[in-house]
Amino acid sequence: MSVMYKIGVVGERDAILGFKSLGLDVFAAYEEEEISRTLNTLARNDYAVIFITEETAMKAKETIDKYTSRPFPAIILIPGAKGSTGIGMMAIKESVEKAIGTDILFKED
């Protein structure tokens, strides 16, 4: 029997509700403990990809860091209702640099 992986979205209700119309599972979470508990539950329940708003991610950095060295789930930061804080792009930059050994995304002139 094969496992059917799922995609979840965690964050402020007004920022994530639209993802429900795309067929993704959405989880509103606001406080650090609630966010961490939600991420851990999703990780245990076959969620291969978890999108999390940047603002929410800042409150659960320790929990997110726990999953960065694991293949699943992939936790991807997205802008929230207030826009981007830039930490999502920085996380991508760090991942690319770690994977290939150099920064190819943000070269300064």
Nearest alpha-carbon partner for 80 in 6, 20, 13, 23: 13
In-domain check, residue 91: no
In-domain check, residue 89: no
Whole-angstrom Cα distance, residue 52 to residue 11?
6
Say what the pTM is. Answer: 0.81
Surface-to-core class of residue 27, CB atoms within 10 Å of its CB (0-12 exposed, 13-18 middle, 19+ buried)? buried
In-domain check, residue 73: yes
- Give the pLDDT score at 87: 73
Strand partners, 53: 78
In-domain check, residue 95: no
- Give the pLDDT score at 86: 72
- Give the pLDDT score at 40: 97
In-domain check, residue 105: no
> Domain tally for the chain?
1
Secondary structure element (H or E) that encloses residue 48, with its range: strand 47-53
- Would you give per-residue pLDDT tens digits along the chain (109 residues)? 677 889 999 999 999 999 999 999 999 999 999 999 999 999 999 999 999 999 999 999 999 999 988 888 999 999 888 777 777 677 766 666 666 666 666 655 4
Strand partners, 50: 8, 75
In-domain check, residue 66: yes
In-domain check, residue 109: no
Whole-angstrom Cα distance, residue 1 to residue 100?
35
Write out the residue range of the structural domain in which residue 57 sits: 6-82
In-domain check, residue 104: no
- Give the pLDDT score at 3: 72
**CATH assignment of the domain containing 47:** 3.40.50.10580
